[in-house]
Amino acid sequence: MIRCCLILPLLGIGSAGFLPAQSTSVARRYQNHGTLTYKHSKLVLQVNSSRPVEQALSQLRRKYGIVLDYEEGASNDPTRISSTGNQRRWIVGRYTIKIHAPTSPDFAASQHMISETLSQFRASGAQHFISIIGTHHRITVAPSTASARILDTPIVIPVANRTVDQAIEAILAAVSRQIGKPFERGGIADNGTATAYVTIGSTTPITARLLLAKALDAAPYRRFWVQGWEPGSDTYFIAIQAVVRTKTMPSGAVREIPIYK
């Protein structure tokens, strides 16, 4: 079951992220998209968010139609997490990152762009991330500390033919059991993942990341995940969205073009 939540608005128009399942304290609006401009042969990313790297990735994903996932580890770092009374939250980060635009539409050029982006964030003092290259031209940006990557958790789910939604729920439930903490799905109903089927599972442990990628690759067009952690409730959550590339029309209207297989 997909738990109801708000996305302001759908597919990231004017939003840098999403709200996890509405339980109480986590129901708040995320920052708007930053800005992406082209200046002196460089892409200039200006971000201002409690999740600045995720905000930057959102801009690049929408401009180039990259299948680009984001994963976030838990943290007790006082430079990242603020504590006021019983409330804990990510500290807002403001960064200006300058990177080279891809020289071609090839996947290798996208890999290089994301690697340069993460390197620039590290140099600016932001949280450290690495890129993990998956099958079918999927790039996942995840914490550089291996213990923080909960989607690396080995899990076993019974082999069965399920809808993609059912497969996602089974994966999250298995990870939650392994780590002993809630792992919830946020988002809105998605007809593509509710009606597409995939045979998935194993009798031996497989990382949740590989199973999740296999499930999403069974949908009719490309999807990515944003997996976060909520400091106030120590809860992990994930949202699945369609990959789109934005195109500005002669009228000035912005059109979203889904990325198919």
**Residue 215 phi, psi dihedral angles, 5° rounding:** -65, -45
Confidence band, pLDDT 50/70/90 cuts, at residue 133: very high
Residue 88 is classified by DSSP as E
Cα–Cα distance for residue pair 171/155, rounded to 1 Å: 8
Average pLDDT over residues 226-240: 95
Alpha helices by DSSP H, the chain: 52-64, 107-123, 164-179, 191-195, 208-217
Confidence band, pLDDT 50/70/90 cuts, at residue 258: very high
Residue with tokens 């759908």: 10
Which of residues 50 and 2 earns the better pLDDT score?
A: 50
SS3 call for 245: strand
Question: Exposed/middle/buried for 9, CB within 10 Å: 0-12, 13-18, 19+?
Answer: exposed
Cis peptide, bond prior to residue 205, ω within 30 of zero: no
What pLDDT was estimated at residue 41? 82
Contacts of 69 (CB under 8 A, 6+ apart): 138, 139, 140, 141, 142, 224, 225, 226, 227
Q: Which two three-digit tokens encode residue 151?
A: 């989607």
Question: Exposed/middle/buried for 5, CB within 10 Å: 0-12, 13-18, 19+?
Answer: buried
Q: Which two three-digit tokens encode residue 112?
A: 């290089």
Q: Alpha carbon of 190 to those of 36, 38, 86, 194, 239: distances in Å?
A: 28, 34, 35, 6, 11
| 124-152 core/surface letters (b: 16 or more CB in 10 A; e: else) | eebbebebbebeeebbbbbbeeeebbbbb
What pLDDT was estimated at residue 232? 93
What pLDDT was estimated at residue 18? 40
The per-residue pLDDT for range 168-214, each reduced to its tens digit, is 999 999 999 999 999 999 887 788 999 999 999 999 999 999 999 99
Confidence band, pLDDT 50/70/90 cuts, at residue 34: confident
- The answer for 252, left when phi > 0, alpha when psi is -120 to 50, beta otherwise, is left
Percent of the chain with pLDDT over 70: 87
Q: Which two three-digit tokens encode residue 147?
A: 């213990």
